[in-house]
Structure 1
Amino acid sequence: MPITARTVRLLMPVAALLFLGIALLIRVVDDGALRQYSGTALYASMVWAGVLFLRPRMAPVPAGTVATVFCWLVECAQLTGVPAELSARSLAARLALGVQFDPVDLAWYPAGVAPLVVLHHLVRAQARPTPQPQHDVVPPPAARPLDTRP
């Protein structure tokens, strides 16, 4: 059964909330490197869900690429200081844009997106209908050489 764009649009906010819930749960149980890097990867996972919410028919690799590049652009924008200024005024801006550049985050964004690209590919392959052979069509008989014996 093919998955419709409507189904994808309904599932992506659920997926984003799931990623957010996992990130918040990790924040409760850890305040070290796991908290930092899983948060970065899960942020990228939420961006991936946002990309598919906006473009539900997008193929896996382009969706993952768009999500990763968006995250990299946000991270690099932190070099300007603008996200830090916005983050000082708004919690939403702080959560969406971050505060300061961390080059390690550039590697964690693809780590959060890559498994989802693989899963996306597997789900699309599973949902794609396989062509069924046509049993009611009889192929023409094979041509036989003429018997030219005397």
Structure 2
Amino acid sequence: MGRKIGTSDLDSVRPIFGMGDEHDNRLLEVVPTVASREQLILRRRLSLAAAAVMIVITGLVVTYATVGLVGDLVGDALYAVLVFLLASFILVRMNSWRVAVIAILFCTGIELFQLTGLPVSIAAVFPPARFVLGTSFDVIDLIAYTGGVLIAAAVTTWRRLD
């Protein structure tokens, strides 16, 4: 009859997960993934949004926990960093230093707008507007805005290597 008892033909059976020849198993191959441009932009925007949330929280803590010139300077610098982060979020493909110029111009425009007296009127109707528009002009604020934006641009450039 020619039948062999006690032997089997296991050479044709291959395990699925790493117990055989790993070079033939596609599940075990390490394929380097390259993020697409859209994925990089999305990742950058998520990072910028997370940083903006942290800056808002920090700014509120500084506003309510400190008094005096140092507290005002730090609060103003954090405000400018937030403007820089929001501009970076919108202009995600733009160089950080160009975004910094836009942020400084925006902050300067808001500070000069305070000379008109309109921000005080708006804050009287809608009190949270004073956080965005301010209420009184101060040249020292311009220095704090510039310093905050330049530090934020330097950190962003260093992290992203523009």
TM-score normalised per structure 2: 0.72
Any idea what the Cα deviations from partners look like across 1:27-58, whole Å, max 9, x if unmatched?
Answer: 34321112211110000000001001111111
Structure 2: 5+ residue runs without aligned partners?
1-33
User: 1:50 & 1:22 partners in 2: Cα distance?
Assistant: 16
User: 1:58 & 1:48 partners in 2: Cα distance?
Assistant: 12
Shift of 1:124: 2.2
Q: Among residues 105, 111, 119, which one is paired with 2:141 in the alignment? A: 105
> Does the residue aligned with 1:114 lie in a helix, a strand or coil?
helix
CA contact (8 A) 1:26 1:35 kept: yes
User: 1:87 & 1:15 partners in 2: Cα distance?
Assistant: 27
| Aligned residue number for residue 54 of structure 1 | 90
Structure 1: 5+ residue runs without aligned partners?
129-150
Any idea what the Cα deviations from partners look like across 1:100-135, whole Å, max 9, x if unmatched?
Answer: 11111111101111111111111222xx8xxxxxxx
Q: Among residues 66, 71, 79, which one is paired with 2:102 in the alignment? A: 66
Percent of pairs identical after alignment?
29
- Pick 1 or 2: higher relative contact order, CA cutoff 8 A, min separation 6: 1
Letter paired with 2:96: P
Letter paired with 1:24: L
Q: Among residues 77, 91, 94, which one is paired with 2:130 in the alignment? A: 94
| Aligned residue number for residue 40 of structure 1 | 76
Letter paired with 1:97: L
Any idea what the Cα deviations from partners look like across 1:65-103, whole Å, max 9, x if unmatched?
Answer: 111110000000000111111111112311110111111
Shift of 1:18: 1.0
| Aligned residue number for residue 15 of structure 1 | 51
Letter paired with 1:46: L
Q: Among residues 81, 96, 105, which one is paired with 2:117 in the alignment? A: 81
Q: Which has the larger radius of gyration?
A: 2
Q: State the number of aligned residues.
A: 126
| Aligned residue number for residue 131 of structure 1 | none
> Does the residue aligned with 2:139 lie in a helix, a strand or coil?
coil
> Does the residue aligned with 2:93 lie in a helix, a strand or coil?
coil
TM-score normalised per structure 1: 0.77
CA contact (8 A) 1:8 1:52 kept: no
